[in-house]
Amino acid sequence: MYGGEANILICWEHRRISHIIEEMGNYDPPIYPKARFDIVWTDPSPYDTITREISEEYPGLDQEFDF
């Protein structure tokens, strides 16, 4: 579990994001959708809950999906 006090930005291959979130302290992380490459999760301290899920809103990546 992460024990620091600073903000963290993690950019990783999307299949590993759920595992990284779990290692930070969220023991029931959502599964990052296989067909998406544009989702940003916010998991503030104490790093146990995703509080925000947004799209990067990059044209062509998320046009066919709805949030």
The two three-digit tokens of residue 22, written as one number: 């779990």
Amino acid at 47: Y
**CB of 42 closer than 8 Å to CB of 52:** yes
Q: Please give the angle made by the CA atoms of 7, 9 and 13, to the nearest 5 degrees.
A: 155
The two three-digit tokens of residue 35, written as one number: 């067909």
The per-residue pLDDT for range 1-57, each reduced to its tens digit, is 667 777 777 777 778 888 888 888 899 888 888 888 788 888 888 889 999 988 877
- Confidence at residue 61, expressed as pLDDT on a 0 to 100 scale: 57
**CB of 30 closer than 8 Å to CB of 52:** no
- Confidence at residue 2, expressed as pLDDT on a 0 to 100 scale: 64
d(CA 49, CA 32): 14
Tell me which residue range forms the domain holding 9: 1-67
Question: What's the number of domains the chain is made of?
Answer: 1
